[in-house]
Structures are given as C-alpha cells and as structure tokens.
Amino acid sequence: MKDFWQSQIELAECFSEGDIRTKIIVPLLHYLGYKPENWRQEYNTDKGLLDFVIGQTQDNQFQPFFLLEVKSPKSTLALYAHQMEYWLKQPNLKKARYGVLTNGSELIIYEYSLDGHLHKIADFANLRNLDNIGLLLDKKLFVAEESQNCGKVISIYNNKGGVGKTTLSINMAAALQEYGYKVLIIDLDAQANSTLGLGIYPPNTQDRNIISLFTEKHQQPIEKLIWKNANGNNIDLIPSNINLYSALSEFSKSENSRREHLLKERIQSLKQENYDFIFIDTPPSMDITFELAITAGDYLLVPSDLKPFSIYGLSHLLQGTKNRIQILGVVGNNVDLAVNVSKPLAQIRNEYKLNIFEQIIHNRNCVAQCTGQGITIFQMEKQKKGNASSVAAGEFRVLARQLLSSIEGKNYIAQAPTLEYLMA
C-alpha cells in the first residue's frame, strides 16, 4: 500500500483543489485505514461547507476526529490558519480537536488545544512523508475513552456572596454541553438562583427538587428529582426552593454522623444517567451546604471578583476546606475590563498558592441580563448575533476548555501525543 501511495503521489498531477481531493486525499484516507463511512465530504455546517470531516458514528451521531481543508496547489497554507481556527470553534463540530490543511504538496496539522488556542503541531513540507502523517492522524489516537463513573462533580463555592457562583454554574454547564458533554446542575441554595436562571419558577418544583433528599417524609431516588433539559438547552437540573432552609436546618440537627456524605452517596447512584459533569451551586455560607458540597465534589471551583474583600475571604475558604477537596482554581468573574488585575492575581498565586484560570469573565450587562431572563449566555448569543453576548459567550467557552485541561483530560478527550513524542 505504501508503494502504491508513493507512486500515487508521484503520478498525481493536481491542477485544482478538486484534483487534490480525489487524487490525493481520498487515497490518503484509505491508506490511513479510514473507511468511507468514517468521513464526510463537503460537510455541511450552518456556517458553510467543509472539504472533509473525519470521524465515526456513535449513538447515531457523527463524531468528528479531525477536519481537513484542501487549498489550491502552491497556495500558502499558513494564511488559512485563522480559517481552520474558525471551523474548530464551531459548536456543531464539538469534539474535533485537529485541523489539517493541505495544498497537495505541503500538509499542516493544527490542534485546537484545551486552553482555547490553535497550535501548529506538525508541518510536512512533503506529502511523501507518509509514516509520520499516518502516526499523527491514526484514528486510534483520537478515540475518547468511555468514562466509567457518575461524572466529575464540580462544586462551585465561595463564602463571599454575589461573586458569580450561580452565573458560573449555569454558563460553564452550558459551555460544556455545547462541547458535547452531558451536564447536570444541582442547586443547593435555598435562594434557588440557578433554578430561576434556568427558567424554572422555584415554587413550581413542588416535591421534585433537592429538598426531597433531606426530608424523610418525601425521600425519593435522586434521579426522580431531575428536570431534564430544564431550559431547552440540554442542561439537566435538580432545582431548589426556599423550603431548603428549613429542611436543611432540621437535617443538620439529625443524629446521623454521616449526614454530610448524603449528597455524595446519592450522586453515586446517578451512574446510569452517564453525566460527564455535575455542577453543585452553593450558597455563600459555611454551614451544612458547604459540608455537603465539599464532600460530594471531586473538585472545587472558586469564583471571585478579585476585589480586596474577596481575596481576604480566601483565607476562610482555605481554613474551611482543610485540603478535603482538590481546588481547581479561582475564576475571576464580573471583573471590569479597565481594571488591572495583575496585583490580585499575583496575591492569589503567591500568598494563597491557588491556581487562577487564565481566562477572566468580564463584567457585561448581558451576563447579568441572561440569568434574569432564565437563559444561558449561549442562548442569548443566538438571539442577538454579533454583539457583547458573543464576546461573553466566547469567554465562557475558553474558560470551559481551560477547566477541561485542568482536570485530568484523558478520561474525556483523547490526547494526541506530541510530535516530539512520536519521533522519539
């Protein structure tokens, strides 16, 4: 086959993109072991046609591994990097992380990495270099492993009020949903802001809410409490309402010595629901809700407005957690674009030894408006194209990628080895 390829590439005279597609790319895909059902040619996205999308069908859905765009012979490929980045950012191309550009002689492979940036990982000046291309585009490297557990549980907490716990819970869940993950939000706050923020009027939740977990009278299996696709955006929710105050006050007096493990144990039984991520939105208090959330969580995410009082409050948070949960980091939120945050960021890193996410979510009216309207920033972006909501949605998308990369990404997205590794 290799010899066939060598002669193919030597004989293939390409005068146009069409020539390259039929004389080079289709044989190349065959050579790499892909079958015709593994690729779509002229793939129709709502933003236009892509030359090739290579992937496989899972659960009746075509899941792309990588995208391939053909440019005319002799064109300078690097000029099209921004176009590849544009494609890789399209929500409906979800899990595709690699983009290939070729002009029939040169071939460049880009990775849209988890930190939200496009990196060139290989540039082959000569398509005859087939072994190395094959290693990089081998489908085995792109298949994600199945997650075996109930999903990663991320508690969002800060003892300081109004710093964006709810805003972050909703929009991070929405960003991850957009990337193709199955997400659930558990509203563990009697203020029920994430319930409202997902468009559900809390009193209407009756017995189908988080309170049922803590009252003996109404105890129900946790999966019965889920509101599927709560706001028409494929985010599932276990809602809350004001009665959670009294229920938890009673619950915290109960004799049960393992009471703070209750939420964790119930979440374990959600395995068959196959969530990739479960977010717990918490109130700004260090009471039983805090204990429940840090016991149930695999990770803690700490939103902060990066102002002095918030930063001072981090010492209480660290005392309270006592290393009982892995803190993924602090997320700067509701930060004014004009504010220089280098000092607070340095303080968080150096004094509190906490990671801080590179992507900051800035203060924008649209972020506040959308939760008020019971929709996510992504739904607002769709309604009003090309304005501030797009920029805000973009910030949440990049933050979600940074979150993925800070969690051991292997379970979720296959990591392609680096070129250095393959060549070693």
Q: By the criterion CB under 6 A, which residues form the site for ligand ATP?
A: 161-167, 189, 191, 193, 283-284, 333-334, 361, 363-364, 367-368, 371
The answer to whether the beta carbons of residues 168 and 361 sit under 8 Å apart is: yes
**Cα–Cα distance between 88 and 249 in angstroms, integer?**
48
Smaller CB distance to ligand ATP: residue 116 or 283? 283
**Cα–Cα distance between 48 and 50 in angstroms, integer?**
7
How many Cβ atoms from other residues are within 10 Å of residue 5's Cβ?
18
Among 165, 264, 266, 401, binds Mg ion (CB under 5 A): 165
Q: Which does 75 bind (CB under 5 to 8 A by kind): ligand ATP, Mg ion, none?
A: none
Is 266 a binder of Mg ion (CB under 5 A)?
Answer: no
Smaller CB distance to ligand ATP: residue 162 or 221? 162
**Cα–Cα distance between 92 and 62 in angstroms, integer?**
10
Q: Where are any strands of DSSP class E within 269-415?
A: 277-281, 299-304, 326-335, 361-362
Please, what is the angle between helix 165-178 and helix 388-406, to 10°? 80
**β-pairing verdict for 277-281 and 299-304:** unpaired
Is 402 a binder of Mg ion (CB under 5 A)?
Answer: no
Closest residue to Mg ion in the complex (CB): 166
Residue 281 beta carbon to Mg ion: minimum distance, rounded to whole angstroms: 6
Is 397 a binder of Mg ion (CB under 5 A)?
Answer: no
The answer to whether the beta carbons of residues 199 and 374 sit under 8 Å apart is: yes
Is 160 a binder of Mg ion (CB under 5 A)?
Answer: no
Smaller CB distance to ligand ATP: residue 193 or 389? 193
Smaller CB distance to ligand ATP: residue 196 or 211? 196
Smaller CB distance to ligand ATP: residue 131 or 287? 287
Residue 106 beta carbon to ligand ATP: minimum distance, rounded to whole angstroms: 43
Taking CA 417 as the corner, what is the angle to CA 416 and CA 419, rounded to the nearest 5 degrees?
120
Is 166 a binder of Mg ion (CB under 5 A)?
Answer: yes
Q: What 3-state DSSP class applies to 123?
A: strand
Longest dimension (CA), the chain: 81
CA distances 91 to 95, 146, 309, Å, are 9, 21, 37
Total binding residues for Mg ion by CB under 5 A?
3
Residue whose C-alpha is closest to residue 170's, from 375, 359, 327, 358: 375
In sequence order, the β-bridge partners of residue 235 are 183
Residue range at the interface with Mg ion (CB under 5 A); choices 38-46, 190-198, 264-272, 302-310: 190-198
Among 193, 295, 389, 402, binds Mg ion (CB under 5 A): 193
Residue 112 beta carbon to ligand ATP: minimum distance, rounded to whole angstroms: 25
Q: Which does 162 bind (CB under 5 to 8 A by kind): Mg ion, ligand ATP, none?
A: ligand ATP
Smaller CB distance to ligand ATP: residue 372 or 386? 372
Residues 4-63 that bind Mg ion (CB under 5 A): none
Smaller CB distance to ligand ATP: residue 94 or 307? 307
Residue 173 beta carbon to ligand ATP: minimum distance, rounded to whole angstroms: 13
CA distances 107 to 25, 122, 124, 385, Å, are 11, 8, 5, 34
Smaller CB distance to ligand ATP: residue 364 or 382? 364
